[in-house]
Structures are given as C-alpha cells and as structure tokens.
Amino acid sequence: MATDVGAAVEQVVLLGADGKPSGVADKTQVHGADTPLHLAFSVYIFDDRDRVLMTRRALSKPTWPGVWTNSCCGHPAPEEAIEDAVRRRVKHELGFELTDVHSLLPDFGYRAVDDSGVVENEFCPVFWARVPGVAPEPKLNADEVATWAWTDLRAVIAIAAVSPFLLSPWAVLQLEQMVPTHELTPTLDSPEQHESASRHGELSPLTSFAENVLDVVHRIPAGKVLTYTDVAEYVGEGGSRAVSGVLERHGHLVPWWRVVRPDGMPSEGREAEAVLQYHSEGTPLTQSGHQVDLETGRWRG
C-alpha cells in the first residue's frame, strides 16, 4: 500500500534475503538491537567547483550523534521512487533543490552498530548530485544537521583512510569505493579546489600529530575534559600550543569543548557555545558557571 511521504509516521521498506521488498515498518520502531534489512540511500552533493558537501549529524540524533558524514541519508517510502526520495530528503534536511541525481554505488549495503547498541542494517544505494553555485549555504533542519562543510573529495577520502573514527561507518565504507578520478569530479585538479572549503571548518588531510590529537579528544567522555597540556601528554609529543593549533583547524570534527585551558576555561571566543555543551553533558562547573571544575571534571583516562 502506498504511503503518504508527508505523513507523521514515516515508514521504511523491509527487504528479504533476496533484496526484494518484503513488507513495511515504522521508522521509529524498526531500529534496535536486531534491525531487519531495509532500504535506504546516501547522497554526495557537489557544487560547481566539484567540492563535496559533508554534514555533521545533529547532536539530538539517536544514533551516531554529532558524527560527520556524507551530504544526506534517508529512506524511500513504500512505492516511492528512490530518486524522488533523494530529492525529497535533501530538500527537508538542507533546503536544496537538486539539479542532477546520478547513481554512484548502486549495490552498496552495510551493517553497523552504534555505541548505544542500535544496529543499522541497510541496502543503501549511493548517489551523487549537483546544486548550482559555489559552496552555496544550506538551510539546515536543526533536528537533522548540526553544521556543514564544502571540501575536496580527496581530503575526505584521505580522512576516511587514516582517521575513520571521525566519520560515520557507512561513509567510511562508501569512500573506500570512491576514487577522485570518477566522472563526477571532472575538475578536481583545478587550483580553486585547494581554497578553504567553508567558513564552518575545513576537512583537509591530517598530519600524524593532528590525527593523534583528534583521537584523544574523540575519546574524552561526555561530562569530562582535558587541558591542552593533558592532551599533549597523552599524545606524547608537542605541547599545549600545538594542540590548540590542531583544534583551531580541525576542532569541528571532535567535541572541542572538552579541551580547556589550565584554569578550566574553554576556548577563547567560544565560551557561550562551550557552556551550553557543558550543561547538556552534565560537566561539573565552578560557582562562576562558565568554568569547568577540574578537580571533579578532569578525565583520568
């Protein structure tokens, strides 16, 4: 039976072992510890300079919150053409009207388990698409996307190879199968490709030191912090300034607010944003209300 894609209850298409539709289920009910195989899609959106749009999942998402991933993901409704679903979901999450949609990895599928124990089990064809202009700014649906970055596809492929923990598991697997010489990136070697990707932060190849810093910061649990010096000691090289430099450039990839100055103050100029995160995560603060109590809030590893 056809489903109204605008209905309040979103349904997904269940698949049998042969990959053919075998039923439908409510999206809110289908994901759990034993998620059945179902139909989904992923899309990578490119601008007029062949830069790809990467998005960071909203912190409120029940699975993989705050993780960087491809431009958009979703589920076709029962009897909805998958290309129509791609266009619908991109409009819903990013506000873009796509000019082109093309198949990229038609047979992609994966299974992954979130830290919460929820399983994703999807047959997930991958598409690439176009939007007009150079690094156009999306109109974000805050329930779905926290932030975004236009960047070089090669940089993202490099990050997936050396620092897969920074990306969603499906994006890592997809990027392993993508090569920069694909027809979707005909001008990838143009000088413009090496400009800064966006004001929201740049995804660029990482040095081994930067990779190690981001790995440590990624592992700091919610409600805890380290100082810049602590991170340098964990890494075993560099110092507080070097760690600060990495987070200034790549902090958008990790929970940067969990690294503080020696007095427990967050990064200068981002205090208000950090304090909101501290309240959300239950990080212990001093009586000032904007300074982490390092006595109880410091992560001991």
Active site residues: 73, 122
| Beta partners for residue 41, in sequence order | 74
Q: With b meaning 16 or more CB within 10 Å and e meaning fewer, what string describes 58-80?
A: beeeebbeebbbbbbbbbbbbeb
Structural tokens at position 19: 């990959």
